[in-house]
Amino acid sequence: MTQGKLISVWLGGVLLIAGLVGILESGAADVFLEATRPDFQKISLGVAGIQNGGGPDWLGGRIEEVLKKDVKRSLVFDLVDLPSLGIKTSDIGNGKGTGSKAVFKQAAEKGVSVLVWGKAGLKEAEKDADVNMEGFVYDSGSDEVVGGKRYAGSPSVVRLMAHRFADELVFRYTGEPGIARTKIAYVAEQGKARELFVMDYDGHDARQLTADGFLNLMPQWSPDRRFLVFTAYRNRNTQDIDMIELATGKRWTLISLGGLNITPALSPDGNFLAFASSHEGNSELYRLDTRTKALQRLTVNPSGDLSPSWSPNGRELVFVSDRGGGPQLFLMGSDGSNVRRLTFDGDYNAAPVWSPRGNWIAYVCRTQKEYKLCVISPDGQKRMQLTTGPGVDDSPSWSPDGRHLVFSSTADGKSHIYMIDADGKDIERLTFEGTHNSAPSWSPAS
Amino acid sequence: MNKTLYTCGLVLVMGVALISMPGCSKKSVQSGGDSQSAQGMAKGGSSDGSRSGVGSFPDTGVQSGGGGLRGLDKNPSEERVGSGTMLAKVDPSSSAGRQDEFRAEAGLLDVFFAYDSWTISEEERQSLNRNAEWIKSNPSTLVKVEGHCDERGTSAYNLVLGEKRAKAARNYLVELGVGAQRLSVVSYGKERPSCNEHAESCYQQNRRAHLVVKTGK
């Protein structure tokens, strides 16, 4: 063995140990698993069905459908179709008999890493009906049933049970909490008004949050998911920044300095609010210390500065400025220092959002007169266009796992909300109702 | 708790009133339009210290991670799944929009802009000349200049663009001798289009400064 090899083996060992210690010490949230790389090997997973545990026939099927879509959207798993591999899923039973042993063996031989199955039933209780769900996981690597979950709740939470189980699967195999229980805030047109709504990440269960009959625009989540900050026109004459508490619907004004007060963004630790305001003349960026209320002006420029987005470590901001003519992306320290231009392609780049992993900034780029989604690395070295075709794409927002973006687009005529993988593949339309849905904002993971 | 919030709300409403009143007189001093930031620069670029116009902030930092997931278990105990929502119910009829005190006026013409632009063309100056005459001959009115954009571009940048258009129109009216204290501006960006087709004929109508009036005291 040469010295070079020895060093690399030694280094590898140190890195492996350091990695393990890191995982053990930091807990789930900090595990860095780059599942957006093109060579990322997904874990093959098959769903062997959610059997009827007493109750209506549709119940198991519905849970299975939601679970499968969650597994697919996780981008961590490769959802395999078990029957097409010749695996008789009904033999799995309760996962303990000889039939299930045979299914496990088949799955392992066909290269299926994870098998999932379960049972769901509905009981009429004294007050409300009660749904029970069980889900179990077989891991072919260790050749054992590694565990399961049991949930109970009202029929209204059936989808949430499936989402929760999907997130447990992602957590088991990546240490990350998964995105199946995240939500998307957005703006929906109601007559001539625009009101805030929140829906599940898959477009289901939309609920209205505001009802003031005028304009409520561009919501952004607080880091703890309890609040939204957004632009409102309280008296129709000035644009203020409001906050609403989701659990109670209580709403109040945060920023009413006069003039245009728009594009609020709370820092990852919740200690600062960055926003654009024109109360001193033209649109400039400000940073408010949410504890002391100290207001610091970050930009000094006769042009328009807006749309700040925080880096995940809270040390930098990416923002839009038209100081060079058309809008372009700029970076600066979160105290306004060290301003430098990031984008040089095209004459219109706007609405930047920093990915939760820090490695990409998504934004709206104008190419061939169309407004499309682009991503650029914070060092400006890598750039990629994610969407093509006609229509105005706007307001990109990252999923907390950094593997997806949600955005609005007029590609199908009216403005609707879509989800896209961070590599530009697999666009999924999320909204189908209404005349105009826009400004989606993806919640942090719970 | 409720009482505190109610008091906060009252203080806020009063705060808004206090800010919006001197806001008018402040605007009358400024006439530089898009180069008004010269005033901000003279201040030194930062304005530290707590101030009015800022509401109360709750702690929004993340208290705990883990996402409420407990991991798989060989003998799982039952987990109760909550109502599936953290959202309060909103009664859409409870807070119907207040009527805008400003109204459209047949004597006032819209001012139209080119794509991406907030420059007022020679032709559009004619419309503003006529508007200035109307405003001067109706001295008891207050005028709000709304800035609008077409649907192309981002919501956020169009709000800034709409403000530039509204201020360009406002500044030209001031140049023509309209008292600045009678003029206010607001930007609606691309959020209140007058026309909803995806066509240039429609975009043209939406790129505008729209003047609305109310009777002042």
- Are A231 and A262 in contact, with CB atoms under 8 Å apart? yes
Half-sphere exposure of A386 (CA within 13 A, CB side): 29
Number of Cβ atoms within 10 Å of the Cβ of A269? 14
Q: Note whether A380 and A306 are same-domain residues.
A: yes
**Cβ contacts of B56 on chain A, cutoff 8 Å:** 252
| Residue scoring higher pLDDT (A21 or A416) | A416
Mutation target among A123, A171, A237, A414 for the B interface, most CBs of B within 10 A: A237
Q: What is the pLDDT of residues A52-63, one digit of tens each?
A: 999 898 999 999
- pLDDT band, residue B155 (cuts 50/70/90): very high
Q: Tokens 């006769």 correspond to what residue? A: A302
Q: What does the pLDDT read at residue B19?
A: 43
Q: What does the pLDDT read at residue A404?
A: 97
Which range of residues forms the domain containing residue A147?
Answer: 36-174
Q: What does the pLDDT read at residue B168?
A: 98
- Which among B191, B217, B216 is positioned nearest to B206, based on CA atoms? B191
Q: Please say if the pLDDT value at position A12 is more than 70.
A: no
Instruction: Give the range among A86-90, B24-28, B180-184 with minimum mean pLDDT.
Output: B24-28
State whether residue B42 sits within 8 Å of chain A by CB: no
Q: What does the pLDDT read at residue A417?
A: 98
Which residue in chain A has the smallest CA separation from B40? A280
Q: Note whether A309 and A209 are same-domain residues.
A: yes
Give the E-state strand segments of chain B in sequence order.
78-80, 103-104, 111-112, 141-148, 183-189, 208-215
**Cβ contacts of B58 on chain A, cutoff 8 Å:** 226-227, 243, 245
Residue A17 within a domain: no
Q: What does the pLDDT read at residue B66?
A: 54
Q: Please say if the pLDDT value at position A182 is more than 90.
A: yes
Residue A8 within a domain: no
Q: Please say if the pLDDT value at position B25 is more than 70.
A: no
Q: Please say if the pLDDT value at position B40 is more than 60.
A: no
B-contacting residues in A 200-219 (Cβ below 8 Å): 205, 207-215, 217-218
Residue A3 within a domain: no
Listed by start position, the domains of chain B span: 103-215
Q: Note whether A304 and A166 are same-domain residues.
A: no
Sheet hosting strand A328-333, strand order edge to edge: A305-310, A316-321, A328-333, A340-341
DSSP A82-146: TGGGT--GGGGTTSSSHHHHHHHHHHHHTT--EEEEEEEEEE--SSS-EEEEEEEEEETTTTEEE
Q: Please say if the pLDDT value at position A81 is more than 90.
A: yes
Q: Note whether A201 and A168 are same-domain residues.
A: no
State whether residue A129 sits within 8 Å of chain B by CB: no
Question: Looking at residues B88-95, what average pLDDT do you find?
Answer: 60
| Residue scoring higher pLDDT (A269 or B48) | A269
- pLDDT band, residue A9 (cuts 50/70/90): very low
| ipTM for the whole complex | 0.88
- Looking at every residue in chain A, the average pLDDT score rounds to 90
- pLDDT band, residue A36 (cuts 50/70/90): low
Question: Looking at residues A324-345, what average pLDDT do you find?
Answer: 96
Q: Note whether A82 and A129 are same-domain residues.
A: yes
Name the residue among A233, A284, A351 with its Cβ closest to that of B154.
A351
Structural domain tally of chain A? 2
Q: What does the pLDDT read at residue B15?
A: 45
The tokens describing A414, both together, are: 């009216």
CA distance A67 to B213: 56
Mutation target among B60, B73, B150 for the A interface, most CBs of A within 10 A: B60
CB spacing of B155 vs A252 below 8 angstroms: no
Question: Looking at residues A27-38, what average pLDDT do you find?
Answer: 42
Picking from A174, A202, A224, the residue at the C-terminal end of a domain is A174
Picking from A152, A174, A196, the residue at the C-terminal end of a domain is A174
Strand partners, A229: A220, A243
Residue A63 within a domain: yes
Provide the CATH number for the domain formed by B103-215 in this structure: 3.30.1330.60
**Cβ contacts of A246 on chain B, cutoff 8 Å:** 86-88
Q: Residue B27 burial (CB < 10 Å; 0-12/13-18/19+)? A: buried
A221 Cβ contact partners less than 8 Å away, ≥ 6 residues apart: A185, A227, A228, A266, A441, A442, A443, A444
Q: What does the pLDDT read at residue B61?
A: 83
Q: Note whether A217 and A365 are same-domain residues.
A: yes
| Residue scoring higher pLDDT (A210 or A236) | A210
Question: Looking at residues B40-68, what average pLDDT do you find?
Answer: 62
Q: Note whether A103 and A196 are same-domain residues.
A: no
Greatest Cα pair distance, chain A, in angstroms, is 77
Q: Please say if the pLDDT value at position B29 is more than 90.
A: no
Residue A418 within a domain: yes
Query: Could you say which DSSP state residue B13 is in?
Result: H
CB spacing of B49 vs A276 below 8 angstroms: no
Q: Note whether A308 and A207 are same-domain residues.
A: yes
Q: Note whether A380 and A297 are same-domain residues.
A: yes
Rounding to the nearest 10 degrees, give the CA dihedral for residues A299, A302, A306, A311.
Answer: -30
CA distance A234 to A212: 9
Question: Looking at residues A261-279, what average pLDDT do you find?
Answer: 97
- Are A334 and A317 in contact, with CB atoms under 8 Å apart? yes
Q: Please say if the pLDDT value at position B186 is more than 60.
A: yes
Q: Note whether A170 and A189 are same-domain residues.
A: no
Q: Note whether A123 and A199 are same-domain residues.
A: no
Q: Note whether A134 and A192 are same-domain residues.
A: no
